[in-house]
Amino acid sequence: MNIAVVGSINMDLVYLVPHIVQAGETLHSTKHELFFGGKGANQAVTASQLGANVDFIGNVGADDFGELVKLNLQDKGVNTAAIQKVGLTGQAIIQLADSGENSIVLFPGANFLVTAEQIQADRERIEKSDVLLLQLEIPMAVVEAAANIAVEQGVHIILNPAPAQQISNSLLSKVSILTPNETELAILTNLKTETEEDLFQACSLLLQKGVGAVVVTLGEKGSYYLNQNERGHVQANQVEVKDTTGAGDAFNGALAVGMCRGNSLRESILYASKVAEYVVTQMGAQPAIPTYFRVNK
Q: Is 277 helix (H, G, I), strand (E, B) or coil?
A: helix
Return the pLDDT at 101: 84
pTM: 0.90
Q: Give residue-wise pLDDT tens across range 104-152.
A: 888 999 999 999 999 999 999 999 999 999 999 999 999 999 999 999 9
- Give the residue from 121, 129, 126 showing the smallest Cα distance to 147: 126
Give dist(CA 174, CA 140) in Å, integer. Answer: 14
- Give the residue from 187, 249, 271 showing the smallest Cα distance to 8: 249
Return the pLDDT at 295: 66
Residues annotated as catalytic (active site), given as ranges: 249
Whether pLDDT at 257 is above 90: yes
Which runs of consecutive H residues, i.e. helices, occur in the chain?
Answer: 39-49, 64-75, 116-121, 123-127, 140-152, 169-172, 182-189, 196-208, 247-260, 265-279, 292-295
Q: Return the CATH fold of 2-8+37-89+111-295.
A: UDP-N-acetylmuramoyl-L-alanine:D-glutamate ligase (3.40.1190)
163 upstream amide cis, omega within 30 of 0: yes
Phi then psi for residue 211, to 5 deg, are -65, 135
Return the pLDDT at 92: 85
What's the Cα-to-Cα distance from 90 to each of 69, 75, 78, 144, 293, rounded to whole Å?
Answer: 10, 20, 18, 21, 30
Return the pLDDT at 275: 92
Q: Where are the domains of the chain?
A: 2-8+37-89+111-295
Whether pLDDT at 280 is above 90: no
Return the pLDDT at 296: 66
On whether the CB atoms of residues 56 and 82 are closer than 8 A, the answer is yes
Q: Give residue-wise pLDDT tens across range 24-77.
A: 999 999 999 898 999 999 999 999 999 999 999 999 999 999 999 999 999 999
